[in-house]
């Protein structure tokens, strides 16, 4: 594991209770994220392949939400602390330690992959590798929903996220990288910083070609 991943995992281990208190509310106050996940789940159900990974699942609330939306969902994360919380909060769900750079999953075995703010700490040069790994594990027609911080700049912008250094992305750049990885972009949602989270928020929904 490279150093930035160790640092990210350790940083999340240190904020589990605070992070869960702030964000593990099932997206109650985030209708855009909530409904993009609803759309994602509906499209995954249509593929007939319900197996879905919540990549960088954190406290596990979205793994639980995906299950409630009819998917056979499980969560993967770097951080043992986050995973311990997820298992306590959702004992009936499955969670395992893994890194997105090397998923412990076979080729074409998922109907869906959710990466909800979990690729934000990955240095831009390594993002193509993560997308290629997601494309590898998705079945034909399987779906990826990637949610992230967006920027109107032309290049990714590093910023001091509260937990660990993070990057915001020009939406078109990230969409191009998804396409390069063999993912056909079905929808992009960008919403205003004044709306639910207080920053430019983006979601890319893509289908395995």
Ligand X SMILES: C[S@@+](CC[C@H](N)C(=O)[O-])C[C@H]1O[C@@H](n2cnc3c(N)ncnc32)[C@H](O)[C@@H]1O
Choose, by CB under 6 A, the member of 37, 41, 62, 185 that binds ligand X.
62
| Under rule CB under 6 A, residue 85 binds ligand X | no
For ligand X, the closer of residues 45 and 197 by Cβ is: 197
| Under rule CB under 6 A, residue 134 binds ligand X | no
For ligand X, the closer of residues 162 and 180 by Cβ is: 162
Minimum Å distance from CB 87 to ligand X? Answer: 14
| Under rule CB under 6 A, residue 50 binds ligand X | no
For ligand X, the closer of residues 127 and 185 by Cβ is: 127
For ligand X, the closer of residues 13 and 141 by Cβ is: 13
Calpha distance 136→141 (Å, rounded):
12
Query: What Å distances lie between residue 129 and 52, 135, 167, 172, CA to CA?
Result: 20, 10, 16, 18
| Under rule CB under 6 A, residue 78 binds ligand X | yes
Count other C-beta atoms under 10 Å from residue 58's C-beta.
Answer: 26
| Under rule CB under 6 A, residue 113 binds ligand X | no
- What is the SS3 assignment for 34-86? HHHHHHHHHHHHHHCCCEEEEECCCCCHHHHHHHHCCCEEEEEECCHHHHHHH
Minimum Å distance from CB 78 to ligand X? Answer: 4
Count other C-beta atoms under 10 Å from residue 184's C-beta.
Answer: 11
Tokens coding 136 = 């590898």
Token look-up 């998922």 returns 110
| Under rule CB under 6 A, residue 81 binds ligand X | no
């Amino acid at each position: 594991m490279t150093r930035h991943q160790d640092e990210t995992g350790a940083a999340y281990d240190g904020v589990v209770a605070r992070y869960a208190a702030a964000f593990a509310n099932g997206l109650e106050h985030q209708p855009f994220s909530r409904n993009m996940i609803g759309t994602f789940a509906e499209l995954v159900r249509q593929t007939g392949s319900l197996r879905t990974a919540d990549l960088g699942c954190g406290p596990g609330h979205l793994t639980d939400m995906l299950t409630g939306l009819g998917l056979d969902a499980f969560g993967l994360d770097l951080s043992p602390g986050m995973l311990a919380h997820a298992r306590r909060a959702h004992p009936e769900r499955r969670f395992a330690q893994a890194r997105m750079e090397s998923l412990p999953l076979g080729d074409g075995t998922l109907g869906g992959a959710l990466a909800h703010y979990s690729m934000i700490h990955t240095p831009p040069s390594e993002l193509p590798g993560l997308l290629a790994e997601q494309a590898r594990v998705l079945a034909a027609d399987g779906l990826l929903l990637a949610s992230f911080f967006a920027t109107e700049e032309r290049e990714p912008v590093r910023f001091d996220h509260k937990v660990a250094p993070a990057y915001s992305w020009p939406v078109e750049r990230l969409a191009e990288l998804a396409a390069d990885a063999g993912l056909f972009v079905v929808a992009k949602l960008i919403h205003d910083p004044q709306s639910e989270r207080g920053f430019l928020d983006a979601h890319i929904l893509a289908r395995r070609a």
